[in-house]
Structure 1
Amino acid sequence: MPVAPPRPKDLPLNALRAFEAAARLQGFAAAAMELGVTPGAVTAHVKALEDRLGAPLFDRTARGVHLTQLGATVLPAFTAAFDALGQAQHQLRAEAAPRSVHIATLPAIAQLWLSPRLPALRAAMPEIALSVTAMEAPPNLKRAPYDLSLFPGTEGRVIAEDEIFPVCAPSLAARIHRPEDLAQFPCLIDSAWSADWPLWLEAALPCTAFTPRGPVFSLYALAVEEAAGGAGVLMGHAPLVAAHLARGALVAPLPQRVRLAKSIRLWSARPLRPGQPADRVARALAEPQGWPV
């Protein structure tokens, strides 16, 4: 009579994902954000995994969690395994929908730089289904279902160099002749780029006590429209305000500009095969002359 012993149960995949993310990102809250769940769910998954193993993977202290020796030993293998699984999933999606290209980018870049170029892109490549997802931070392309990442950074193909300088409506620009004049006007501030004003002022007005004050916006595109409407002076990012400057909706009243260390770059975690849809889109977006806006 054949013997059929019960097969030992595999460790739960969701719990392994939670452990790997928490270990790699050094925190349960960061892991929860990446995985799209609550910190409590990550905690519960990791605790259940530790109970199954009969050994701790993290040391819990008042200052946070830290990997045990066991957790540190196995983390590289699990990171490589989930990276490989992410790559395999992307390959499966790409083979199933070979004419689809999905771009992840900042909301400001999506609205002010990419969106005006999409009609020309679609007209030139009508066979490609182009999707755009706006998010505040670059995704982990080894895991996330995106083909291209378009963000300020230091890795990937340079799409546009970035520099900052004050911009405002023409009516306000007529009253601004030197950096000190900015103290007379509201300074529009973008919450994601709150360091822009101090960085520019350090270069244009060193050793001054001028502190920019004014409305704070969580959407840079809205701040741009408010500046064009005369609400105040905004620290403009050259690639994002170029169209407004070209049509005269915004004016740069001062010559001082500060080049940022991070350019807007297009990046992919996977090699782009020449002639494939993602490669064609990337090459088109990187063309020096740009696309009509």
Structure 2
Amino acid sequence: MSVKPPRPMGPPLNALRAFEAAARLGGFSRAAEELCVTPGAVAQQIKQLEDWAGAPFFDRQAQGVQLNALGRQLLPMAERAFDQIADLAQGIRVAASPNRIHIAALPAVAQLWLSPRLPALRQKMPELEISVTALEEPPNLEREPYDLSVFYMPADKGQALVADQIQPVCAPSLAAQLQRPEDLSNCLCLVGSVWANDWSHWLKDGAGLPELSLRGPTYSLYSLAVQEAVNGAGVLMGHESLIAPLLKAGRLVAPFKRPVATGLALSLEMRQPVRDPLARFVAALKGA
């Protein structure tokens, strides 16, 4: 009679993924953000992996976790393994849909800058299948299923499309009340939560009034704050690259005409190696 003893179980893939992310990023919280789970879930998965291995990979301390010698030894192997898995997944995607372009963009960029350009690009390149996902943070293009990301980044990172400048903007009907920056204290000043520090930045560098007290609502969607500014609800700190069409059309005006550079640029990054459909799309996007 044949004997078939149970085979030893390998480590769970999710536990390996949690270890690799935590070790690479330097903590459970940052790994949780990348993996879209809670820090507690990451800790539990790593503990499961450590129990399977019979040894810890992290030193637990009051101020956080520290990768130990065994963890440091295993990290390069884990990185290579998940890089290969990501390459396999990308290879499958490309083989199945070679003309698909998946873009990740900041929500405001996707709505106000990218979306208006897409109809002409689709008409110019009808063979391409273009999809867009709105994200709050740039993705890891080596690991995540995106071909292109469009975000505000430091000017020396990515391919800069346009320098980021900010200044107060409002509906023409409201502009008559704003003769000097001090008048902002008498108006509602709209805030986009993604750029909560824009007002303090501009008041300091554009108006020389760092102590001016402002009031107004905060919007989780910058595009909604833009629409409210067009509606006359208040004064918005406008990112010129996003609201340029509204300024050109006269639906928004800049009452003080004092733009301030943020030190960032609207920039793009491409997954490497760059495929021909992506290269053609990016070239057309830059010219749009």
TM-score, length of structure 2 as denominator length: 0.93
- Kept in 2: contact 1:158–1:286 (CA 8 A): no
1:190 to 189, 192, 210: 192
| Shift in Å, 1:11 | 2.8
| Shift in Å, 1:100 | 0.4
| Shift in Å, 1:183 | 1.6
| Shift in Å, 1:26 | 2.4
For residues 80 and 224 of structure 2, what CA distance do their matches in structure 1 show? 41
Structure 2: state its 5+ residue gaps. Answer: none
Letter in 1 for 2:196: S
- Kept in 1: contact 2:178–2:184 (CA 8 A): yes
Which residue in 2 is equivalent to 1:49? 49
For residues 90 and 177 of structure 1, what CA distance do their matches in structure 2 show? 55
Letter in 2 for 1:59: D
- Kept in 2: contact 1:165–1:256 (CA 8 A): yes
- 2:127 partner SS: coil
Letter in 1 for 2:191: I
For residues 70 and 258 of structure 2, what CA distance do their matches in structure 1 show? 54
Which residue in 2 is equivalent to 1:22? 22
- 2:136 partner SS: coil
| Shift in Å, 1:31 | 1.7
| Shift in Å, 1:68 | 1.4
- 1:87 partner SS: helix
| Shift in Å, 1:137 | 0.5
Letter in 2 for 1:152: Y
For residues 236 and 103 of structure 1, what CA distance do their matches in structure 2 show? 24
Letter in 2 for 1:262: L
Which residue in 1 is equivalent to 2:208? 206
Which residue in 2 is equivalent to 1:139? 139
For residues 111 and 271 of structure 2, what CA distance do their matches in structure 1 show? 24
- 1:161 partner SS: strand
For residues 88 and 262 of structure 1, what CA distance do their matches in structure 2 show? 34
For residues 5 and 224 of structure 2, what CA distance do their matches in structure 1 show? 65
For residues 142 and 213 of structure 2, what CA distance do their matches in structure 1 show? 42
Kindly indicate whether residue 134 of structure 2 is the aligned counterpart of residue 128 of structure 1. Answer: no
Letter in 2 for 1:13: L
Structure 1: state its 5+ residue gaps. Answer: none
For residues 6 and 233 of structure 2, what CA distance do their matches in structure 1 show? 71
- Any idea what the Cα deviations from partners look like across 1:140-162, whole Å, max 9, x if unmatched? 11111000000011322222221
Kindly indicate whether residue 82 of structure 2 is the aligned counterpart of residue 82 of structure 1. Answer: yes
Letter in 2 for 1:113: W
- Kept in 2: contact 1:157–1:286 (CA 8 A): no
For residues 209 and 5 of structure 1, what CA distance do their matches in structure 2 show? 75
Which residue in 1 is equivalent to 2:168? 166
- 2:263 partner SS: coil
For residues 243 and 167 of structure 2, what CA distance do their matches in structure 1 show? 10
- 2:191 partner SS: strand
Kindly indicate whether residue 100 of structure 2 is the aligned counterpart of residue 100 of structure 1. Answer: yes
Alignment of 1:1-293 (within 5 A): 9-154=9-154, 155-206=157-208, 208-273=210-275, 276-287=276-287, 290=288
- Kept in 1: contact 2:146–2:271 (CA 8 A): no
- Any idea what the Cα deviations from partners look like across 1:146-184, whole Å, max 9, x if unmatched? 000000113222222210010000011122122222222
For the aligned residue pairs, the C-alpha RMSD in angstroms reads 2.0
For residues 182 and 129 of structure 1, what CA distance do their matches in structure 2 show? 45
- 2:102 partner SS: strand
